[in-house]
Amino acid sequence: MPETTRKQKPTKVKTKADTVDETKPAVNSEKLISELDDLLDEIDEVLESNAEDFVKNYVQKGGQ
Amino acid sequence: MSIPKICGIETEYGIIAKGMDASAVTASSLLINSYVGRFDKNVGWDFKDEQPGNDARGLSLDDSFPPEIEMHLVNTVLTNGARYYVDHAHPEVSTPECRSVDEALIFDRAGEEIVRQSMIAAKSFLPEGAELIAYKNNSDGKGNSYGCHENYLLARALPFAKMAALITTHFVTRQVFCGAGKVGTEFESMPNESVAFQLSQRADFFEEEVGLETTLKRPIVNTRDEPHCDPTKYRRLHVIVGDANMSEVATYLKLGTTAILLSMIEDDQLPEDLLLLNPVPAIRQISHDPTLRQAILLENDKRMTALEIQESLYQYAERYANSFGLESVGQTTGENILRRWREVIEGLQSDPLSVAHIVDWVAKKRIIDGLVTRHNLRDTDAKLKAVDLQYHDMRPDKCLALRAGLETLVSQRQALDACTAPPESTRAYFRGKCLEKWPNDVVAANWDSVVFDIGSGPLKRIPMIEPLRGTKAMTEELFDRCLTPSDLISALGDAVTSSSFKPSN
């Protein structure tokens, strides 16, 4: 299996070495915030329009 | 020495019929028939060896309710070796048995694609505006849960009670990286809104440490003893405690870490110093605390967080790998699992958001926290529950998980190929090839046999009690050589028996 195609990477994976390196900025917070903003824009767009009815009508029979 | 950890995943999907009146059973049947109806022949399931009431502890069944086999519902076998059927009012895909975790992940992804194709196919049969929508989750938020089960091959010689006690620690704590996340709680004695967000879909539903049931009084370790292969040599551990994951890496880690720990137990290399004092309340306490600070009590009076316990399990696994190797899961795969296991633990320790591309509950919580801030929502806003459900929506244009930036390990091509082609490294290859080559002559199949109607005389049953026989390497030449099922039956000689299978529909 090919090891990984990453579609979008919200944050950098920190290794222990990263976390002890105080001189390096831990994460680019501006970039993170703008990524989250884009994601939330998209989610606001596709989210079921009547959340209350959608949640109420989602009823399942118990399974295993 | 530990035996090969052949494994598979059985996923019950949630299902909604939109714009039409249909019971859950009808909707599930419609969904599956829409998919299998595209092919000429619907091959039935042979129930001959189904024994879900057998208990691995050898107990009597007086106090428990073994699952019933629902023989009248839609039940079919696919050319990829999977079983696609209606189980307890849900469509369920059971992947074929796989030799490696990498393969099992590909076939779990194929299961998603099969469900997606079924939804599209169903739409063409339904009235304008009506559709069937499947959800890969485990609860409706109203106290009804359905499962995503795993299965692993174990040596029969391994004492069950000892294995159950040791693996429980992992089953209670692995949710820190393979929990799918849930808004609210469904634990019976707590108000739904008393927990804003929890790690796991399933944790609220576990009431026993060990037991046979799967639909009520659910146990953390399930004792169903159905090896679907030679029962004198093997067990098949049926794991019901997990969440269905949208994150491929989470599925990979869930299967991989469990397979390695089971191998360690077979080799008597998992120390007993991490046994939990009260696993049932602990699984809930851990799930209900997304700060990951909740410490739980061990049998030896120590208190540790789930993450600390996972770190210790990882260290034992690393030590095991160094002295015993990881051949039971495949050496390279095993090393990958260990690396990713370490990375996810370190990520959760430093900042859970750093693993939002791997861990479903973190990815889901990131969206929910973002919406709360953006729209100034209360914890109880219906929008948040809608996000929780829609994260698992199987429609690509609606699925939130597909938008959450999750890392992928399987290409779309691999997933689509695995919808029709079986894995090559187990007996699933033989099952799948029989179905592909002679769809009109196979009258039934199940995990450990294929039944042929060769036109004259009784039906012929080919038993497959060894999961590692019937692989591509062992049977490719046989399939090339045999032009008809009769050729195959002759070639296999004494191995073939007569079958009393009667089609139920």
Of B139, B215, B383, the CB nearest to A64: B215
And the tokens for B243? Answer: 């969440």
- Over residues A52-63, the mean pLDDT reads 94
From first to last of the 505 residues of chain B, give the pLDDT tens digit. Answer: 899 999 999 999 999 999 999 999 999 999 999 998 865 456 777 877 778 888 888 755 444 554 555 556 788 999 999 999 999 899 999 999 999 999 999 999 999 999 999 999 999 889 999 999 999 999 999 999 999 999 999 999 999 999 999 999 999 999 999 999 999 999 998 999 999 999 999 999 999 999 999 998 999 999 999 999 999 999 999 999 999 999 999 999 999 999 999 999 999 999 999 999 999 999 999 999 999 999 999 999 999 999 999 999 999 999 999 999 999 999 999 999 999 999 999 999 999 999 999 999 999 999 999 999 999 999 999 999 999 999 999 999 999 999 999 999 999 999 999 999 999 999 999 999 999 999 999 999 999 999 999 988 899 999 999 999 999 999 999 999 999 999 999 999 888 888 877 765 4
pLDDT given for residue B45 in this prediction: 78
Owning domain of residue B476:
428-499
Reported as a pLDDT band with limits 50, 70 and 90, residue A28 is low
Which among B369, B384, B417 is the end of a domain? B417
Nearest C-alpha neighbor of B74 from the set B52, B93, B54: B93
Cβ contact, residue pair B88, A59, below 8 Å: no
- State ipTM: 0.91
Of B147, B346, B410, the CB nearest to A64: B147
Which of 196-225 (B) contact A at CB < 8 A? Answer: 214-216
**How far is the alpha carbon of A7 from chain B, nearest alpha carbon, in Å?**
6
Q: Which of A43, A44, A54, A59 to mutate to test the interface with B (most CBs of B within 10 A)?
A: A43
Residues 6+ apart with CB under 8 A from B207: B217, B218, B219, B280
Q: Does A3 touch chain B (CB under 8 A)?
A: yes
pLDDT given for residue B179 in this prediction: 98
B189 domain-assigned = yes
Same domain? B372 vs B325: yes
Same domain? B407 vs B365: yes
B329 domain-assigned = yes
Same domain? B481 vs B392: no
Q: Does A13 touch chain B (CB under 8 A)?
A: yes
Q: Does A33 touch chain B (CB under 8 A)?
A: no
pLDDT given for residue B494 in this prediction: 83
Same domain? B409 vs B436: no
Q: Which residues from chain A sit within 8 angstroms of residue B397, using beta carbons?
A: 46
Same domain? B432 vs B376: no
B422 domain-assigned = no
pLDDT given for residue B168 in this prediction: 98
Q: Does B412 touch chain A (CB under 8 A)?
A: no
Q: Does A59 touch chain B (CB under 8 A)?
A: yes
Same domain? B294 vs B433: no
Same domain? B356 vs B433: no
B307 domain-assigned = yes
Write the CA distances from A58 to B24, B25, B74, B146, B302, integer angstroms: 12, 15, 23, 14, 42
User: Angle at CA B91, nearest 5°, toward B89 and B94?
Assistant: 125
**How far is the alpha carbon of B13 from chain A, nearest alpha carbon, in Å?**
10
Same domain? B410 vs B449: no
Which among B393, B417, B441 is the end of a domain? B417
Domain count along chain B: 2
CA dihedral sign, ordered B172, B302, B278, B58: positive
Same domain? B435 vs B404: no
Which among B417, B452, B487 is the end of a domain? B417
pLDDT given for residue B456 in this prediction: 83
User: Angle at CA A36, nearest 5°, toward A34 and A26?
Assistant: 75
In chain B, which residue's Cα lies nearest the Cα of A37?
B370
Spatial distance between the Cα atoms of B293 and B359, rounded to a whole number of angstroms: 17
pLDDT given for residue B42 in this prediction: 66
Decide if B217 contacts B208 (C-beta within 8 A). yes
> How big is chain A by its Cα radius of gyration, in Å?
19
Same domain? B452 vs B368: no
In chain A, which residue's Cα lies nearest the Cα of B144?
A62
Of B135, B353, B389, the CB nearest to A11: B353
pLDDT given for residue B501 in this prediction: 76
Same domain? B179 vs B328: yes
Residue A9 has pLDDT above 50, yes or no: no
Cβ contact, residue pair A15, B146, below 8 Å: no
